[in-house]
Structure 1
Amino acid sequence: MSAATYVNLPVRDLDRAVEFFTALGFCAGQRQPGGDTAQLTVGSTHLILHTGAAFAAYAGTAVCDTSTSREVIVGLGVDRREQVDELVERAIAGGGESLGPGRDLGFMYMRGFRDLDGHQWSFLHLPG
């Protein structure tokens, strides 16, 4: 089976969120009519960003308050260990929040951050 991953997230400022993720290496695609949704891609991962109202309508539920809870943590694998820190530093420079130093677990090196809307992400490298 060949599969792609689609991650849908609500954002407060669609233009700023697109700029943030583009700086992390995502390629921006065309915007949906109405301007309340944008798609970005990195590898086989598609990030669909929605305004809060558009996300709530799509999901059929209220938008999660990221200051008090986590609905998901998104992890993206990269080719080199050094990329983990480089990408998280870019995220921080773009307004994201660091979740501390990288962690070497032996089988994996990872480091986390929160994006502009408080969604938790991590970049990770699995050697070999």
Structure 2
Amino acid sequence: MSEQSARTIIYLLRNDLRYHDNQVLSWACQNAEYLVPLYCFDPRNFKETNHFNLQKTGPHKLKFLLESLADLKNTFESKGSNLLIRNGKPETVISELIKVIGKDNVSLAWQEEVTKEKTDVEDALKAL
């Protein structure tokens, strides 16, 4: 390895839990020396909504999410990689990862979302 810093991209997966036809993942693979695919079980997605008093993530959605993550993890493993899965707010989890990797050595990637809650997370990540 050279004296220069390695370029690590942390790719935050959210609703884009596909390996094939995932443009951001494809870009990250092409541009990273090291890729850290990451999914966070954000506790905010498992709270009740204020508007209708309904769960954001009900049992059927959770089952689909778990199956999708298991499939994606198996796909990464078959390619010689892995999927990092953590509990916590993405901005907190990624901040901790950046401390370990080093701020100068890391870039972040994610698929942009449109809801206020998701763009708030993106704004927090941009501030890291």
Q: Same fold (TM over 0.5)?
A: no
TM-score in terms of structure 1 length = 0.31
More strand by share: 1
Normalized against structure 2, the TM-score is what? 0.31
More helix by share: 2
